[in-house]
Structures are given as C-alpha cells and as structure tokens.
C-alpha cells in the first residue's frame, strides 16, 4: 500500500496538476493557497502540457539512499510551456548533450522502490524532443 505522502502527491505526480491565479494569471506547480505575486486566493486548477525546455541542470553522482542504484543521473529545472518550473530527472540523453534551452517532454517513468519489497514510486522524467 502506498505511503500517505504519495497519496497526497497524486494530483501533481500523476496528472501534473498546476494552479493558475484567477487574479494575475501566475502559474504554480505544485498548487498553492496564496499567490506570491498578487496575494490572490482563487485559482483555476489544470493539467499542464507535457512539453518545456531545460533552464539549468546538474549531474548527481552521490545520491540519497533511494536513488543509489541510479547514479550518476542528471537533474534539471524545466520550464514548462504553461509557465511553471519543476525539478525533474533528465533521461535518455548523455550528460554532455544536455543544453540550456533544450526542448524536452515529460514521460511517465519509474523513480524508485520504497524499501526492499516496497511500493514502486512513479513520476515524470524529462526526455529530449527528437526531430
């Protein structure tokens, strides 16, 4: 059975649910209760597009325990076409080929397993847009 923290994250993790401030239009991911730009409290929730571009990135060579079998791996900040930014793993590309501004799309992938016989955690990873 998934842990309670994973259940709370389902709207963001699985549907990429974001919130747009009804007053000023700023997009938040994950959604917030108060807009940091205009202090508005009304939001429109929507599912983000799955495309964006790399803003910055790094290579993780010494990860936390749950990702120890994955190292080394690239992590970056991706600005989605909807305007929100998120931190995610960058996959299916060599480290030297990751560039600022590189177009990417989010694909649903396995993250890690909780413990030896635990629940497998899934989420989105950024992969390059080919062509």
Q: What is the pTM of this model?
A: 0.78
Question: What pLDDT sits at residue 13?
Answer: 59
Complete domains list, the chain, with CATH: 4-128 (2.40.50.840)
For the ranges 20-24, 72-76, 117-121, the lowest mean pLDDT is seen at: 117-121
The residue with greater pLDDT, 115 or 92, is: 92
Q: Which helix (H) or strand (E) covers residue 32, if one does?
A: none
pLDDT digits (tens, 9 = 90+) for 8-56: 455 555 678 999 999 999 999 888 999 999 999 999 999 999 999 999 9
pLDDT at 14: 60
Quote the tokens at residue 104.
Answer: 């990417």
* Token representation of residue 60: 């993780």
Assigned token pair, 96: 């030297």
Alpha helices, H only, the chain = 4-8, 10-15
CA gap 22, 16 in Å, rounded = 19
């Amino acid at each position: 059975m998934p842990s309670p923290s994973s259940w709370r994250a389902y709207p963001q993790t699985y549907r990429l649910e974001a919130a747009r401030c009804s007053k000023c239009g700023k997009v938040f991911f994950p959604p917030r209760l108060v807009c940091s730009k205009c202090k508005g409290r009304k939001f429109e929730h929507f599912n983000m597009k799955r495309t964006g571009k790399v803003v910055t990135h790094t290579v993780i060579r010494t990860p936390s325990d749950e990702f120890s079998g994955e190292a080394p791996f690239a992590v970056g900040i991706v600005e989605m076409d909807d305007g929100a930014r998120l931190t995610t793993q960058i996959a299916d590309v060599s480290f030297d080929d990751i560039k600022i501004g590189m177009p990417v799309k989010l694909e649903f992938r396995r993250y890690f397993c909780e413990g030896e016989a635990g629940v497998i955690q899934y989420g989105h990873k950024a992969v390059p847009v080919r062509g």
